[in-house]
Chain A
Amino acid sequence: AQSVAQPEDQVNVAEGNPLTVKCTYSVSGNPYLFWYVQYPNRGLQFLLKYITGDNLVKGSYGFEAEFNKSQTSLHLKKPSALVSDSALYFCAVTFSYNQGGKLIFGQGTELSVKP
């Protein structure tokens, strides 16, 4: 079955340190991969997407993501975390064929950046 997994419910990072939020997927074919961020009491905001091409994708707010086809992963990264990056992060995948392109979301990872 098509699925998306975010193996960590929570990630804690000190401000200024690099951060990684993990995402893996299970699918046959070529999915489109997305990262979204949700700040408290807000809707989801688009961060970046991977379709094809370079394995490193640049996104908003200084975030980037590293795609690894053999590990079927798209990990979200940032070289230097900010306290304001603290939020809930969702990985999502869309599959083109039998699911009509709808997004499948991971369960979310709570990122906490401490000063």
Chain B
Amino acid sequence: DAGVIQSPRHEVTEMGQEVTLRCKPISGHDYLFWYRQTMMRGLELLIYFNNNVPIDDSGMPEDRFSAKMPNASFSTLKIQPSEPRDSAVYFCASSFGLAGGHQETQYFGPGTRLLVL
């Protein structure tokens, strides 16, 4: 398996522009997660899906952020409009769910490094 695939790997944009980050999870995984990593705040969970349905979006910073998972093999994280403080590395991860509500190991993509000027 190719692992979790993210695109683009790097994105430079100007403040106010729309940014769309893409993720393809590992085939067969039923959980998908979006994280953000910054020096100041560390690794933050933004939102996660189970079977394509958003379960917890309490980590989404504000209404400028939205995420979708139209099918089991694709998810997007959109920022509109983007701001300089959104500059960070955004990771996607996927996993299997287990009985009892636990999950198997999460596998991370390589990340998208976003710079908003």
A residues contacting B by CB (< 8 A) are 32, 34, 36, 41-46, 49, 90, 94, 96-97, 99-103, 105, 107-108
Contacts and interface: CB of A to CB of B under 8 A. Distances in A.
Contacts of A32: 102-103
A103 B45 contact: yes
Which applies to chain B's interface (DSSP): helix, strand, loop or mixed? strand
Contacts of A46: 105-107
A89 B107 CA distance: 15
Interface of B: 4, 31, 33, 42-43, 45, 48, 50, 55-56, 91, 93, 97-98, 100-103, 105-111, 113
A97 B101 contact: yes
Given A42-B110, A100-B55, A101-B103, A108 B48 contact: no
Q: What are the nearest 10 A-B pairs in CB distance? A: A96-B101, A43-B108, A44-B108, A101-B103, A96-B102, A43-B110, A105-B43, A107-B42, A101-B101, A46-B105
A43 B33 CA distance: 13
